[in-house]
Each structure stands twice: as C-alpha cells, then as structure tokens.
Structure 1
Amino acid sequence: MNYHAIVGCILGTAVGDALGLPYEGISPQRAARLLGPPDRYRFLVRRGMVSDDTEHTCMVAQSLIDAGADVPKFTRSFARRLRWWILALPAGVGKATARSGIKLWLGVSPAKAGVFSAGNGPAMRAAILGAALNDVPSMLNLVRASSQLTHSDPKAEYGAIAVALAAKHSRDYQAIDANLWLDEVVDVVGNGGGELIDSFRRVIRSSETGESTRTFANSLGLNDGVTGYTYHTVPVAIHAWLSNPKDFRKAVTSTIECGGDADTTAAIVGAIVGAGVGREGIPNEWLDGIWEWPRRVSWMERLGESLADSLAGDSSVKSPTLNPIAVLLRNLLFLFIVLFHGFRRLAPPY
C-alpha cells in the first residue's frame, strides 16, 4: 500500500505543480482570458515543468531514505540538500526558504535557520511524509523538523501537519471521513491552531453542501487568487481534496481555477489525492506531458520505489542521485522560460 501511496503522492505533486505553474500569480479572471482552462500544460508549448514544490518533495523523500525516522539525521540531510538546492539557482524560491538557505551557508545550525514566516513552504513538502509513514508520532516529528528548518512561525507547522495527516488519511481510507481527519488535526495542533481549525470546519460545511472550491476561496476574500499564506493555501487545498477525494483531474483543476499561488495549491492537492489514487489514478496524458531532466518522471518513480523499499526495512537502498551540473543547466533553461512568461503577462488580454 505504501508504494502505491508514495509514488502517487510524488507524481501527484509533480503534475499539480506543472499544471498550475503558468497560472501562478494571476487572478482567476485574467488567467481565464490569458491562458484558458487548466486542462493541459501551458508552460512550454504543450509540456509542463515542475518547480520548488516538487523539488522539495523529492528532497524530503531522499532525506527520509537517508535517515528513516531519525529526526536529527533527517534534519541534517535535508539541510544539506537545501543548501545545494539554493546554490543551483532555482527560480521562484520563496523568501523565507531563500533566507534560511543563505543562513545555512553562513554556518547557522539547522535548528536556528528558520525565519518567522507563515508561508506555505512547509505545507508544500509535507504530504510525502503522511503518504510514506505509518507511525504518526514519528511522522509528526519529521513534519516539525522539515517545517522549522525554514519557517519558525507555528502557523506554518500547523498547516504542514494538516496536509501530512490529510495525505495519510487519503492513503488509508477508501471513503474519506472529513470529521475523523479534523479530529486528528485538533488532537495535534491543540488550541494554538484555533484559527486554522475554524477554517477547516468551514471547509467541511462548504464541501458537504457541494459548494465549489472557487466559491469557497472567494468566501475567504481570495477573489483575486489564493495567497502564499498557509492559512489561505491549506484550507483551499483541503476543500478541493474533500470535494473530489478520488477524482484527481477535478481536484487539481478546481484548485488552479482559484488563481494566485496556483502551482503550490495544486501541488498540495495533487499530493493528497495522489496518495489515495496512486499512479493509476493520475491521467496518463498529464504524466506523459511532463518535460523534465534530470528529475524525469521515471526518476521520480524510482525515488518512490526506493523510499518504499527503505521503509520496508531494506537497509541497502540508496537515494537516487542527480547530476548537479545537469540540475544547474536545467534551472537556467527554466529561468529563461519563466522570464518569457513574465514578459508575456505584460501584454493583453488584461
């Protein structure tokens, strides 16, 4: 079961990320005029590429292979990977993550590298921990370690915990029980997460009445798009999951239609739903349409298989590696395409 969930989570992250990327930072109204519906890739002709959402998910998976449930070892491994990831000039890296990466290069310890931010960076890479791990206390310790490495605001951690528990619930239950999932979140975050819990209660009521995810996002005041604030990102993503728990296509597209930080919200939803439906539940044309190197779809599948084998007790498993020169070259091409999209947005239709 875990292999099915792990591979589905990683590939679901990648597909949601790649589909949502061209829509990032655009209002729903303008996105419809400029790009059309999010039913196919629009980043590189009819191909898609991934961004930091997928890359961080892969780094967490690699660190989990390195360390298992050993939190200090996991933190050191992830911090090392984050340092080198920053050095490879990734486009679109979040401010908090960039600052923490620079602090790590300056010799700050991983325990003190996080900056006070409630951004959605920790949430975007948390689902893989819920999809992969059976032991909830170990999972939560690793989610906290992953979160605090870059974001010290407890809100960022609470959002990541909710996503990880959602991915685990999606993996474990054929019929999703929103209230059971919420009870688990409440037990973990306690009174400190009261604002987020209240949002989740609104999410559940809205999804039960059949309200669309975009209508729900508008009710939060996000008419111009979902922001990178984790208390906006995560409730919208959870709404799309609860509304379409086994329909990957609908869950992802309904999230992108909300606009704003579309690649991250779609990556989170793709990860959660992917953990439940596996690779088989993700449209083949979307998997085939990802144009990536060196993190090919086949490489991500191999990563998922290695993680599953490692967690099953195979101590000989090593994390799949990447050629750093290839990553740098790929990132330079990616940056060029991102700049092209940026200039394109200066032109009509507005």
Structure 2
Amino acid sequence: MTTTLETLTLDDRITGSLIGAAVGDALGGPVEGYSPEQIVERHGGRVHGIVGPWHGDEWRTARPIAPYHKGDGHITDDTLMTHALVRAYATVRDHLDAYAVADQLVPDLISTPRWIPELEAEALPLHRVFLAEKWMVTRLHYGHNDPREAGVGNIVNCGAAMYMAPVGLVNAAHPTAAYAEAVDIAGAHQSSYGREAAGVFAAAVAAAALPEATPTTVIDAALSLAKDGTQAAIESVAEVAAQHSDFESALAPLRAAVAPFDTVGPDYRSPSLAARRPSRLHSIEELPIALGMLMVGGGDYRRTVLGAVNYGRDCDSIASMAGAIAGALHGESAVPSDWAKTVAEASRIDLHAPARELAAVAREIFTRDRERRRAHESAFARLTDLP
C-alpha cells in the first residue's frame, strides 16, 4: 500500500530528509563547480544517478579537486556537517544556539577522528571542511569570540545553510521556530544573507514536514519568513520555476532568475570581486535554486534532485538542500533505495543512525516545549484576565 502524505510519521519524514540530503550531496559532488554544458560533455548527457570522479582515477592529483575523491557515492562536507549537528542535538537534547556551536560542534570537528569518504581515510572532520567552516574553529576555539557574533567577517556563502536540515526537523511543522533557531545557531558561522539562508532553509524543511505540505506551501512558508535579497531571489526563481515541469528546460531560466542576486558571477570557479561579501541586496544561489527545482520536479525526489545535480555550480549543496526538503515531504520511500544503499556502502556510513537519534531527540524537545508552554500559559493567566 502506498503511504500518503497524511499518514507519514515524524520518524519517516526525518529519515527521508536526512537520507535524502546525503544522497543528493553524493550525487552532486562529482559534478560540483561545472556548468550544465560541461556536465553534458563530460558524461555524454545528463547525470541520472551516481557517477565517478570528474577526472577518473586521477582524482588524487587533478586540479582543482585534488585530493578529494568526489563521486562513486561519496558524501561531502555538507553531510559531514549535517551529522555533526545531529550529534550536537544528541548531546544537548534540547534546542541549540550559537553557544552550542562553540561548546559542541567545534570540539566535534577538531577532536574526534571519523571516516572521511573523500579522503578515503580516517581523519579529523576539520581536515575536510571548507575554509568557511574552519573559520568557526579559528574564531571560537582559538579566538574566544562571542559565539553570537563569530560569523561576522567570514565569507558569505551557503556554508551555514547547507547543514541546517536537522534544525527544521527538530522543529517539524513549526517553520517560524525553525527559522529563529537556525538564525541563532548560524550566528556563530555566518552573517548577512548566508545566515539568513540558514534560517529560511530550516524553515522550509520544517514546512515540508507539515501533514499536507506541497512544494507551493513550502515556498510560501519560506517567503513568509525570508528577508531582503533572499526573499527577492526566492520570489524570482519561484516565478520562473512555475513555468516549467522538466528540469532540462528550466536550467538556463533558473540561472538567469537568480543571477542578479548571486554575487559569485557567471564563472563559478573564478568568483567576481564582489563575491561572498555581506549585503542586504543579495542571496546565496543554492537555496533559491533548490526551492526552484522542488517546484519544477513537483516535489518528486528523483526529479527534484536530478534537476539540482545537473544545474551544476554548487550542485552538491543545492541537491542536498533539495533532497532534504523532498525527503521531508515524502519520507524515506521517496529516496531511491539503490542510491541510498550505494551511498551508505561507498561512504562507509549508517545513514539511518542519525535519523533515529534525531527523531528521539525531536520528541524529547517537543515534550519540553509543551511543558514550558503550559507553564507560561499558567503564569500569564495569573497575570491577566485571560483564561
């Protein structure tokens, strides 16, 4: 019997979202940084599943990817950071904030060796994450900055947004709460529209977990909370996405729609002088495109993620975000099981374990929230004439 949206459990949505994010990340990794045209030339057509490294067996030395083995089902830093955030929730077992990044996430990155698929070795996660994530270690561990302000000065990119799905899942069905919590957490990592994107992405995941959610309701929830250039970029992309039902025809129009808000410029590997600087007028590219592909794909996991992958540019993050939202909409069964199996085996990772842990934590947090809410209601009633 087919599971309907209305009967999906919290556990199923969390599992679908986290596995969906990891699989999208692994599919997008080997073509990250390239254009749709380059992807077609390299692979003889569009990518329709898991593919090998761009440079084949020379991945260890080929620039600009070396020394990372991107492809063959390997997760990237997006999933490494997502699972690190799940571990922070598992330790705190309550809502997180910027101080939790300093007290839990940063020590996890610098103290515990883990299997890093792209390095094909056990190493500290710090040795794999990008410079924008190393910034947190510098600012919080060595610089002892206020966690709420540590993100100021970092490059403004999708670094904070890419791993915020757990925040949306802990606040499942409550986009406003997810937005607020993610903005707080991301203050330790990013500023400006990078921090804003983290909040909006978490809200989109939370909105996707609502019982009757659709791509349209997810985008509406995102727009109701988004500010400045992020809101404008999502509006622009969503308007164009509504005109397409196939990612092939949508690739160029979606890029044109987001281009005025994207600071990186037309050549992803040669960013413009204004790239990744704070601004109220701009947006990261990844989140609006992920939402656009969700609409183009009608929320279907496979169509949504393949659209994100074949878009190119920062497509591992785009596909990871899109996969997290589509997975929350439709649950684990929406994610092709052969893809998930290959990613789990190739990356030597249990994709179900983080989902089980986060589902348990989400229930504990909800119970605490309900107790806190009832205590507040009781106290407020004593202060007023309200029943």
| TM-score range normalised by the length of the shorter chain | 0.7 to 0.9
**For 2:252, which of 208, 215, 218 is the aligned residue?**
215
> Which structure ranks higher in relative contact order (CA pairs < 8 Å, sequence separation ≥ 6)?
1
Q: Deviation at 1:89?
A: 5.6
Task: Measure how far apart 1:312 and its partner are.
Answer: 1.7
Aligned to 2:181: 142
- Partner amino acid for 2:340? L
Q: Which runs of 5+ in 1 are unaligned?
A: 316-350
Q: Within 5 A, what are the aligned runs for 1:158-177?
A: 158-176=196-214
Following superposition, the deviation at residue 293 of structure 1 comes to 7.3
| 1:6 equivalent among 14, 17, 40 | 14
Q: CA deviation at 1:279?
A: 1.3
Secondary structure, counterpart of 1:143 in structure 2: helix
Once the two structures are TM-superposed, the CA of residue 173 in structure 1 deviates from its matched residue by 4.4
Q: Of the candidates 102, 109, 126, which is equivalent to residue 82 of structure 1?
A: 109
Which amino acid letter does the alignment assign opposite residue 14 of structure 1? A
Aligned partners of 2:10 and 2:99: how far apart in 1?
22
Q: Against the structure 1 CA distance between its residues 80 and 256, is the aligned structure 2 distance closer, same or farther, given a 3 Å change threshold? A: same
2:150 aligns with one of 89, 110, 113: 113
Query: Cα 1:33–1:150, aligned 2, differ >3 Å: closer, same or farther?
Result: same
| Cα distance change on mapping 1:96 and 1:9 into 2, 3 Å | same
Alpha carbons 2:74, 2:347 under 8 Å: kept: no
Check the 8 A contact 1:79/1:149 in 2, yes or no: no
356, 362, 376: which one pairs with 1:311?
Answer: 362
For the 8 Å contact 2:178–2:206, the answer to whether it is kept is no
Q: How big is the shift at 1:73? A: 6.0
- Cα distance in 2 for residues equivalent to 1:25 and 1:285: 25
Render the CA deviation track for 1:295-339: whole Å, top value 9, x for unaligned: 51xx23122112111222399xxxxxxxxxxxxxxxxxxxxxxxx
Are residues 1:286 and 2:304 paired? Answer: no
The one of 53, 59, 80 equivalent to 1:55 is 80
Q: Is the 8 A contact 1:224 1:259 kept in 2?
A: no
Give the superposed CA RMSD: 3.0
Q: Which letter maps to 1:231?
A: I
Residue in 2 that maps onto 1:71 = 97
* 8 Å Cα contact 1:216/1:236 also seen in 2: no
TM-score (ref. length: structure 1) = 0.77
Q: Is the aligned partner of 1:276 residue 2:329?
A: yes
For residue 24 of structure 1, what is the aligned residue in structure 2?
32
- 1:73-112 CA deviation, whole Å, 9 max, x = no partner? 6332223223347971656633221222233331424334
Equivalent residue, structure 2, for 1:125:
163
CA spacing shift, 1:100–1:72, aligned 2, 3 Å: closer
Greater shift in the superposed pair: 226-235 or 31-40: 226-235
Q: 1: distance between equivalents of 2:42 and 2:112? A: 32
Q: Which has the larger radius of gyration?
A: 2
Structure richer in helix, relative to its length: 1
Counterpart of 2:167 in 1: which secondary structure?
Answer: helix
Q: Name the structure 2 match of 1:326.
A: none
8 Å contact from structure 1 (residues 112, 149) kept in 2: yes
Preserved contact between residue 217 and residue 258 of structure 1 (Cα < 8 Å): no
Letter in 1 for 2:130: G
In the superposition, relative to structure 1, how do residues 216 and 62 fare at CA in structure 2: closer, same or farther (>3 Å)? Answer: farther
CA shift digits 1:233-281 (9 cap, x unpaired) = 1111110112224311111111111111111111111111111121111
- TM-score, normalised by the number of residues in structure 2: 0.71
Gaps spanning 5+ residues in structure 2: where? Answer: 1-8, 57-70, 114-122, 260-264, 277-282, 367-387
CA distance in 2, matches of 1:73, 1:100: 12
Which deviates further from its counterpart, 40-49 or 155-164?
40-49
Deviations, residues 191-222 of structure 1 (Å, cap 9, x unaligned): xx222212222222212222644133331347
**2:299 aligned residue (226, 242, 246):** 246
